[in-house]
């Protein structure tokens, strides 16, 4: 489990980049930093990092533009959204574009390193806030789904999300639900997949409505 992880940090604020860099553990290598969408794509194509720490808001397009641009260039990497934004639609947008997780910039160093290692291993990373957003997005708001498979969370997935929103770690969820950690991870990934594949613009409507409540 001591595999090294390489990352590229994408954020338009120099201070944030150096702060993140300083918080990373020894087994995480920063290959490059980028301040906007073009720089980020350039760095991704040339450096091919395991993980991209991606700010949601960027000059020249948002984080989602980096994700789609990387896909168009055939870069295989995973994205972990890192943001100070509380705007649900921003977060949902970047997750729907393909980010494997979302954490806030106030996260502790240990949690940050842990999150990076986990997305590098293919897991989804849910902060309590992201879990809340996703629950909100899937909660009764959406009716007449196109594809019931994709448009609804299973009871188990909801259970997992609720525990995540309550601040439980995967390990604790596994113990509480008496399932394996692997199964918890599978549920989390499948929630992300549903969020990405369901083609409902209602998600965006929801986000807008939510701000108006």
- C-beta neighbour count of 96 within 10 angstroms: 19
| Angle formed by the axes of helices 88-97 and 128-138, nearest 10° | 90
Q: Is 171 in the site for another protein (CB under 8 A)?
A: no
Please count the other Cβ atoms lying within 10 Å of the Cβ belonging to residue 55: 27
Residue number with CB closer to another protein (45 or 139): 139
Please pick, from the candidates 60, 122, 145, 167, the single residue that binds another protein as defined by CB under 8 A.
Answer: 167
With binding defined as CB under 8 A, does residue 135 bind another protein? Answer: yes
128 belongs to the binding site for another protein (CB under 8 A):
yes
Query: Scanning residues 145 to 164, which ones bind another protein (CB under 8 A)?
Result: 162
Closer residue to another protein, CB minimum distance, 77 or 83: 83
Tell me the closest approach of the beta carbon of residue 165 to another protein, in angstroms.
Answer: 5
Interaction of residue 78 with another protein, rule CB under 8 A:
no
Least gap, CB of 164 to another protein (angstroms) = 9
Based on C-alpha coordinates, what's the Rg of the chain? 17
Q: What is the DSSP letter of 122?
A: T
Cα(first)–Cα(last) distance of the chain, in Å? 45
In what side-by-side order are the strands of the sheet with 5-10?
A: 28-34, 5-10, 51-55, 78-83, 101-104, 125-126
Is 208 strand, coil or helix?
helix
Site for another protein (CB under 8 A): which residue of 140, 148, 155, 178? 140
Exactly one of 106, 144, 178, 201 binds another protein (CB under 8 A); that residue is: 106
Please report, as ranges, the residues that interact with another protein according to CB under 8 A. 85-87, 106, 108, 128-129, 131-132, 135-136, 139-140, 162, 165-168, 211-213
């Amino acid at each position: 489990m001591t595999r090294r992880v390489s990352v590229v940090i994408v954020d338009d604020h120099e201070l944030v980049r150096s702060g993140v860099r300083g918080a990373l553990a020894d087994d995480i290598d920063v290959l490059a930093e980028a301040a906007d969408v073009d720089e980020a794509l350039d760095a991704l194509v040339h450096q091919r990092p395991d993980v991209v720490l991606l700010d949601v808001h960027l000059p020249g397009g948002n984080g989602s533009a980096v994700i789609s641009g990387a896909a168009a260039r055939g870069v295989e990497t995973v994205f972990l959204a890192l943001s100070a934004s509380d705007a649900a639609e921003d977060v949902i947008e970047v997750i729907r574009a393909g980010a494997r997780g979302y954490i806030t910039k106030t996260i502790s160093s240990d949690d940050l390193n842990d999150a990076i290692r986990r997305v590098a291993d293919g897991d989804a990373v849910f902060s309590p806030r992201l879990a809340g957003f996703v629950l909100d997005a899937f909660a009764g708001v959406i009716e007449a789904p196109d594809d019931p498979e994709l448009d609804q969370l299973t009871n188990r997935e909801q259970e997992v999300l609720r525990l995540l929103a309550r601040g439980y770690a995967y390990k604790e969820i596994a113990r509480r639900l008496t399932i394996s950690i692997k199964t918890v991870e599978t549920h989390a990934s499948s929630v992300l997949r549903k969020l990405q594949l369901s083609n409902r613009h209602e998600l965006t409507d929801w986000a807008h409505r939510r701000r108006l409540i």
